[in-house]
């Protein structure tokens, strides 16, 4: 028995499937993080790398098409983060060595 207040939905919402925009954005951010470190500034590249990883993971979890693009963005973001972590670590080590040599 139908309720007198229930009406059929005149405008049913279509089920939306995620588009490839997030996957493409992850790829573009991954490429941008590698290029920004070379041409702009490494701190900006680290922020872009984190964004590439986050957007790539979101795209993969939502099941967006072109999942390979999202994976490539995640990989490039991770490579960028590892690369800059090593560079910053080596720089800190060498600064410590120079300070130790100058204080003797």
pLDDT at 10: 65
What is residue 69's predicted lDDT score, i.e. its pLDDT?
Answer: 94
H helix or E strand, kind and range, residue 71: helix 67-102
Residue 70: per-residue pLDDT: 94
Token code pair at residue 90: 């080596």
- pLDDT given at position 65: 87
CA distance 51 to 10: 40
Assess contact for 66 and 89: CB atoms under 8 A: no
What's the pLDDT at 6? 67
Which pTM value belongs to this model?
0.76
Predicted local distance difference test score (pLDDT) of residue 73 = 95
Confidence (pLDDT) at 43: 87
- Reading the chain (104 residues) residue by residue, the pLDDT tens digits are 556 666 666 666 666 667 889 999 999 999 999 898 778 888 899 999 999 999 999 999 998 888 899 999 999 999 999 999 999 999 999 999 999 999 87
């Amino acid at each position: 028995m139908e309720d007198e207040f229930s009406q059929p939905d005149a405008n049913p919402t279509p089920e939306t499937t995620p588009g490839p925009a997030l996957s493409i954005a992850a790829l573009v951010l991954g490429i941008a993080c590698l290029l920004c470190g070379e041409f702009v500034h490494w701190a900006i590249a680290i922020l872009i790398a984190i964004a590439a990883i986050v957007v790539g993971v979101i795209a993969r979890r939502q099941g967006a098409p072109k999942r390979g693009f999202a994976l490539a963005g995640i990989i490039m973001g991770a490579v960028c983060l590892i690369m800059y972590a090593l560079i910053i670590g080596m720089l800190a080590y060498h600064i410590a060595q120079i300070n130790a040599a100058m204080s003797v």
